[in-house]
Amino acid sequence: MYTPPGPGPVGNPGGNAGHDTGQELPARDPAPGHPPGQVPQAAPGQQNLTGPHPPQGLHGEGPLLGLRSAIILMLGILVATAAGILTYRAQQDAATAALAAGGAFAGGVLFFHKIIAG
C-alpha cells in the first residue's frame, strides 16, 4: 500500500500515518466542534429537509395549494354560495345571483386573507 509522504500524526514524523508502527490512529470526528456521536444541527440560514413540510411527489413537486390558501379559497366559496343562493331566492334571477356570488367570493377571499394569520 502506498502512503504519500507528509506530516503524520503527532509523534510520527515519518509521514506513514501510523502504518507499520503498531500505533492506533484516533477516530475522526465527523463534525469538528461537536461531541462524538451527536449530529450537528443545520445552520440558521439553511432549510431543514426533514421538517414539517409534506413529502414531495415522484417528480419533486409538492402540494398544489398550501393549507392556508386552501382554507381561504374554501371559505370564499362558502361565502359566494350563500350570497348566490340568498340573492337568487330574493330576485329569482340567475344572472344577478351569479354576479352577487362573484363579488362575494372576491370580497370573502380578500377578507379571509387579511384575518387568517400567515
Cell numbers 426533514 correspond to 50
Q: Cell for 30?
A: 465527523
Residue 95 has pLDDT above 70, yes or no: yes
Look at residue 62 in the predicted model and tell me its pLDDT. 87
Contact (CB, 8 A) for 21 and 3: no
pTM: 0.50
Compute the average pLDDT of residues 90-107: 98
Look at residue 59 in the predicted model and tell me its pLDDT. 73
| Per-residue pLDDT tens digits for 35-90 | 666 655 656 666 555 556 655 656 768 899 999 999 999 999 999 999 999 999 99
Residue, of 60 and 97, whose pLDDT is higher = 97
